[in-house]
Amino acid sequence: MTPPLTPSAPAPPGPAAERTAEPARRRGPDRESVLAAVKAVVGIVGLFALWEIAVRVFAPPEYLMVGPLSAFAELAERPGYFAENTFITLQEALAGFALGTALGVLCGAALHYSTTVRSFLYPALIAIDTVPKVALAPLFIVWFGFGFESKAFVAMAIAFFPLVINTYDGLRSVPHELQELARINKASQWKKMTKIEFIYAIPSILSGAKISISLAVGGAVVGEFIAGSKGLGYVIMLANSQIDLPSMFAAFIVLAAIALVLFFLVDLAGRKLVPWKQHTR
């Protein structure tokens, strides 16, 4: 007599199934990124549209307000002029950001690992951070002259503080359990620092970097306001003296675009450096 048929248990997925399932999992974040980018573009276009509509409805004098179409027309009319000055401001901002990142991470680590440094330096840093950075710009110009260096150091001074605080807070937030695990395994201080503490602090450092990159662009412009003969800050000051609002707003739009692109580049680098953070969301 033939035994009754019973439904067999599903076979465990083999390597082939795992390979086909893996790309499906990988496509999710890509679709989310594309959707987020589309939403961002729609939001920016909508903001420009509202701006242009408001200018056309209320019709203010051209020496008070112009629409984005006038600003984009100015960009199209003098692309070389704006490109040259954009490149100068971008160089100053990136140099200041790089210096601020290096010094900020080192200083934040020194605050965490040295009680003596923290006791003397932390209150001084808080006091210096309360000083408006515009007030520091003339000092950097006295020290480094009217060239590229002074603007880069102004950008560095502004980008420096978020990285100090975020590095310090990130290193302090390492769970006690991981510290105990390192002690039980008799890990050296170097391995404990490189394999546990800084790895755990990377998301916090990257958050500080996203803040600092936008501040560095503003710092470069502040330096150009004080003593610049090139750059987008100089373009804004020159347009202000000539009451040339299309050029001024064109420079504003370019500055906003630079800050936005650099912010998303730092965010993208963070996604590559900290992939595990994406999977925990």
Residue 191 CA from chain centroid, whole number? 29
pTM score of the predicted model: 0.77
- SS3 (DSSP) at 210: helix
C-alpha dist (Å) from residue 40 to 54, 208, 213, 262, 277: 21, 22, 19, 15, 22
Question: pLDDT for 27-66, tens place per residue?
Answer: 445 677 677 778 778 888 888 899 889 888 888 888 888 8
CA 230 – CA 46 distance, rounded (Å): 32
CA 173 – CA 201 distance, rounded (Å): 8
CA 154 – CA 218 distance, rounded (Å): 9
Q: What is the pLDDT of residue 275?
A: 64
Q: What is the pLDDT of residue 249?
A: 93
Our separate counts of H helices and E strands in the chain read 12, 0
- Amino acid type, 54: A
Residues of the chain with pLDDT under 70: 1-30, 33, 275-281
